[in-house]
């Protein structure tokens, strides 16, 4: 405490002269820059999507979606009138197989009949068959691929439910669609004059390698190279976008 008093107690001797005061120029204090936050972005309004009807009541919904894509007349000509979603699923599932269940097809019979030329003992495929499919191929070519994908995604819950009911509870219809397209794209070109046989009522290809093709491939083969090429081009475009959907994680397993 004594030492503390010596240093802190006021001195009695005169203080030294004060140092000369230097006029200092005040330094302007630099204020930090203030960044105003950008105004919040206006949230995009959510587009209301009408809920899908139950599968058994979905014909009007599916038919109208088809009309929006292709037009009224093609839908009336080619699409079955009832059980549409289920029949689309059955058709897609059957096309890579040996045959399609005729009563469960989603597409109605085209006008006209299968034509063969040549002799009764050596029939060949007549090019007149290809004309029957020209209008159908033109409709497929006119479809907007992005709209097709949008409709497919919107109706997908109906398709998946129908696929489960078909006996595939642990598989996705989406994967089967891609498998079906891959099979169709493998269809070979068959030209007019290809040899046929008629063991019973229906004509068959004389070449076993052609006759052993899937139901879907033989459907394209009957259309002729030009029509089949048109449809394959559209299928390739659709497949590309379907695969992109899969890579993006849709649909969820």
pLDDT, tens digit, 9 for 90 and up, residues 89-127: 999 999 999 999 889 999 998 888 899 999 999 999 999
Element (H, E) at 210: helix 208-211
Query: Is the model's pLDDT at 160 over the cut of 60?
Result: yes
Q: Which residues of 19-35 are buried (b: 16+ CB within 10 A; e: fewer)?
A: eeeeeeeeeeeeeeeee
Element (H, E) at 229: helix 225-247
pLDDT in tens, 178-201: 999 999 999 999 999 999 999 999
Per-residue pLDDT band for 42 (boundaries 50, 70, 90) equals: low
Query: Is the model's pLDDT at 226 over the cut of 50?
Result: yes
Measure the CA–CA gap between 57 and 51, rounded to whole angstroms: 12
């Amino acid at each position: 405490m004594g030492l503390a008093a010596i240093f802190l107690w006021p001195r009695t001797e005169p203080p030294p002269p004060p140092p000369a005061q230097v006029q200092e120029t005040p330094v302007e204090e630099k204020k930090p820059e203030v960044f105003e936050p950008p105004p919040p972005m206006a949230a995009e309004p959510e587009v209301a999507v009408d809920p899908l009807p139950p599968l058994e009541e979905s014909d009007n919904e599916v038919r109208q979606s088809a009309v929006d894509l292709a037009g009224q007349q093609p839908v009336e000509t080619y699409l079955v009138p009832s059980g549409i979603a289920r029949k689309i699923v059955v058709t897609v599932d059957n096309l890579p197989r040996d045959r399609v269940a005729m009563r469960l097809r989603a597409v109605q019979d085209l006008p006209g009949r299968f034509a063969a030329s040549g002799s009764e003992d050596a029939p060949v495929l007549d090019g007149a068959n290809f004309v029957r499919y020209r209008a159908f191929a033109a409709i497929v070519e006119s479809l907007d691929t992005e709209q097709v994908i949008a409709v497919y995604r919107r109706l997908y819950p109906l398709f998946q439910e129908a696929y489960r009911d078909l006996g595939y509870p642990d598989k996705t219809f989406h994967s089967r669609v891609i498998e079906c397209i891959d099979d169709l794209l493998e269809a070979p070109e068959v030209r007019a004059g290809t040899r046929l046989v008629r063991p019973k009522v229906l004509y068959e290809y004389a070449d076993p390698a052609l006759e052993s093709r899937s139901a879907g491939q033989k459907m394209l083969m009957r259309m002729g190279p030009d029509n089949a090429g048109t449809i394959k081009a559209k299928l390739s475009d659709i497949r590309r976008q379907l695969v992109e959907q899969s890579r993006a994680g849709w649909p969820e397993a």
